[in-house]
């Protein structure tokens, strides 16, 4: 019998705790705290994510059943529902947001060599948001419409490894296009966005920063053609044009030429029109790049199904944002462990094994040794392909 650490303790050892404590000190997170430190709060919430706990009472009951092992899990005292609720209410969510960003930096460096849908050395991002519906009477701080509340999870997903490089949590009324004001453009990077982000003044900021964008065109686009490149229609490519925008304000907001690519997809029988400021890549490569934007939709679907971000343990803004950022930290942590240990299983498989073995004392590699990598978890095949790195 392995007499070392529990699996949960081994998982937590992959976290950079010295960095976490520096962040906590910066925000005075443990000031006047006697019973539940920020580190213990993080462990309790991470445990809830890994074991799919539904409520604070569920967390308390599950940990109480393993009271003799709590010290070895990193808890000095039993976890009380009221104490954890107060911590989620009071401890600044910025602590966990900043810590998640540090984990994201680690994960991105590990997955920097992952292949893309096309052979490209540039960084490729997909930008989109997902809405999480809430009850208006309980979450009045997050208005969405007259009958319900909501929070939006705006995500910039690095397509190498499906790692979220930037996340912004807002109320339901925050328009997606406003996120372009928050982003710091990365020179040479590609940003794949849908038509909700079509704002010429903001897109021109990306262009001036030497970043590239690919976006679907709207049907009422006002432009004139400057040049048409030869195309092979047997590939589905209808036209590859250099255009200039018309319209008084549009021309002022984006005065430079654009590239307009029209493509017919025989599989879906759809005709798609793309706009980009990338003038040199083959037109079909632009289309393949934009098709990979679907990865962010799969990412949203996956985290909603396998992380606790649809049901919250508290109703305040601080509690909701703390839970979301800790959930993101857990997702990125499992991705880091998967890469560092060279595990072949999907994230789904790793989470399923951990959910029932966290209290076991065995080497972490042994816990995943018998996973059937070809097993079907019973959900949509598409969502799992994203995480079979």
Cα(127)–Cα(37) distance, integer angstroms: 35
With CA atoms as reference, report the closest residue to 215 among 192, 234, 233: 192
Q: Is residue 85 part of a domain?
A: yes
Q: What is the pLDDT of residue 1?
A: 37
Q: Is residue 331 part of a domain?
A: yes
Structure tokens at 150: 């909501």
Q: Is residue 47 part of a domain?
A: yes
Cα(348)–Cα(1) distance, integer angstroms: 27
SS (H, E, C) 121-172: CCCEEEEEEEEEEECCCCCCCCECCCCCEEEEEEEEEECCCCEEEEEEEEEC
- Which domain, by its residues, includes 76? 7-96+315-385
Q: Is residue 166 part of a domain?
A: no
Q: Is residue 371 part of a domain?
A: yes
Q: Is residue 20 part of a domain?
A: yes
Q: Is residue 36 part of a domain?
A: yes
pTM of the full structure: 0.87
Cα(186)–Cα(141) distance, integer angstroms: 33
pLDDT along the chain (389 residues), means of 10: 75 94 94 89 94 91 87 85 94 95 93 85 93 90 89 93 90 91 93 93 95 93 92 89 92 95 86 93 91 90 88 92 94 93 85 87 80 48 41
Q: What is the pLDDT of residue 193?
A: 94
Pairing of strands 270-276, 258-265: antiparallel
Contact in structure between 64 and 344 (CB atoms under 8 Å): no
Contact in structure between 157 and 294 (CB atoms under 8 Å): no
The DSSP secondary-structure symbol of 12 reads H
Contact in structure between 277 and 258 (CB atoms under 8 Å): yes
57: phi then psi, degrees, rounded to nearest 5? -65, -35
Q: Is residue 174 part of a domain?
A: no
CA 20 to chain centroid, in Å, comes to: 20
Cα(41)–Cα(30) distance, integer angstroms: 11
Q: How many domains does the chain have?
A: 1
């Amino acid at each position: 019998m392995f007499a070392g650490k529990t699996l949960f303790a081994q998982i937590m050892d992959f976290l950079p705790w010295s960095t976490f404590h520096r962040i906590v000190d910066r925000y005075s997170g443990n000031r006047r705290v006697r019973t539940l430190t920020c580190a213990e709060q993080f462990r309790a919430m991470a445990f809830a994510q890994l074991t799919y706990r539904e409520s604070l009472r569920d967390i308390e009951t599950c940990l109480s059943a393993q009271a003799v092992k709590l010290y070895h899990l990193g808890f000095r005292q039993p976890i009380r529902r009221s104490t954890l609720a107060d911590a989620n209410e009071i401890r600044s969510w910025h602590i966990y947001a900043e810590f998640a960003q540090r984990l994201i930096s680690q994960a991105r460096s590990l997955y920097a060599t992952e292949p893309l849908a096309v052979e490209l050395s540039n960084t490729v991002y997909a930008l989109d948001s997902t809405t999480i519906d809430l009850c208006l009477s309980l979450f009045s701080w997050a208005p969405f419409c007259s009958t319900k509340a909501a929070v939006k999870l705006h995500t910039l997903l690095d397509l190498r490894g499906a790692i979220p490089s930037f996340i912004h949590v807002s109320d339901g009324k925050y328009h997606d296009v406003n996120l372009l004001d928050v982003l710091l453009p990365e020179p040479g990077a590609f940003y794949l966005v849908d038509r909700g982000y079509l704002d010429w003044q903001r897109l021109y900021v990306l262009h001036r920063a030497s970043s590239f964008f690919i976006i679907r065109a709207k049907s009422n686009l006002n432009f004139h053609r400057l040049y048409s490149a030869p195309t092979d229609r047997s590939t589905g490519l209808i036209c590859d044009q250099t255009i200039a925008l018309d319209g008084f304000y549009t021309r002022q907001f984006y005065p430079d030429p654009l590239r307009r690519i029209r493509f017919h997809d025989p599989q879906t029988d759809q005709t798609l029109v793309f706009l980009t400021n990338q003038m040199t890549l083959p037109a079909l490569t632009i289309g393949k790049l934009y098709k990979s934007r679907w990865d962010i939709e799969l990412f949203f679907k996956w985290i909603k199904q396998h992380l606790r971000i649809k049901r919250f343990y508290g109703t305040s803004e601080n509690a909701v944002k703390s839970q979301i950022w800790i959930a993101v930290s857990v997702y990125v942590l499992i991705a880091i462990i998967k890469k560092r240990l060279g595990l072949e299983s999907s994230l789904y498989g790793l989470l399923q094994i951990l959910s029932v073995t966290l209290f076991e004392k065995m080497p972490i590699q042994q816990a995943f040794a018998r996973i059937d990598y070809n097993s079907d978890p019973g959900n949509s095949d598409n969502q799992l392909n994203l995480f079979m790195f």
